[in-house]
Structure 1
Amino acid sequence: MNRSNAISFVKIEDVCTTASGGTPLSSKTEYYNGGTIRWLRSGEVAQGEIFKSELYITEEGLKNSSAKIFSPDTVLVAMYGATAGEVGILRCEAATNQAVCGISSTELISPNYLYHVLRFSKRALVRLAGGGAQPNISQKIIREFIIPLPHLTSNTNS
């Protein structure tokens, strides 16, 4: 087989790291008023390429919650409810709530390639989800999800 055409199949956790976000207490207005940190909810993941958010949080809100800032090119997957399986990619820094899994790629995989693979794998991800009418995709399901991994020269052209 020609090496440039080689494809292997890997778990996401073999080529990426994952984390979920968090929600600052909504009763603390100081966590939101005047906030400058983009903060995404799972419904916003369906934007695809994400350049903005509807809501913002403050540094204090970030510090006092499990929210964390994800860097540009982080791939996001909505994990719960009606939006489960939706996939987006950050084009700006942003924090997310706990219903979103952030997937940071390594040098082994292009973030754009990962975004497209997961976008087209939505049905497969949702099928693996537990729950009845409202699917729940855990980080474990995402980490163990198997994706095709072309030789690096192939997956960086996405």
Structure 2
Amino acid sequence: MSVEILHQATQTLNAEDAFRPRLDVSQWRQLAPFMQQFKLRSGDTLIRYRDMDRVMYLLESGTLQVYVPDAGPARRPVAILRPGAIVGEPVLFAETPRMAQVEAMSPSVIWGLTRNRFDEFAQRQPEMALEFLRAAGAVMTERMRANLERGMPAA
């Protein structure tokens, strides 16, 4: 389980909503034990719409599709996420249901960070946790701005 690939992915993602915590690779290594790495197959569901789980995800490799289910089999696309992106970050801030569904478009490697494990990390490394939260908040802000510009609801 090597977090260096995830660190590199966050450093090189070229997207408006890129997750950019100012953490060096040694700090990522300190964070890694609080996360769980796992693999998705193409078509696997990572996040179910309206679920109440409390996990934020970081995408190391692969591609994820974010959408909101409409009536029947219809889907309203929201985003396609590439390596270095995060998804599910609102769980670090609020007790709300999931606002979208997320599925793997290709085989993917994901790192999950539960809210409880993040809280443990924050107790041990408060400065790094604050930087992590600031970066996650910046992603949420950019995504909200983009949704408002597209005429989509903010929540």
Q: Which has the higher helix share?
A: 2
Q: TM-score, normalized by length of structure 2?
A: 0.31
TM-score w.r.t. length of structure 1: 0.30
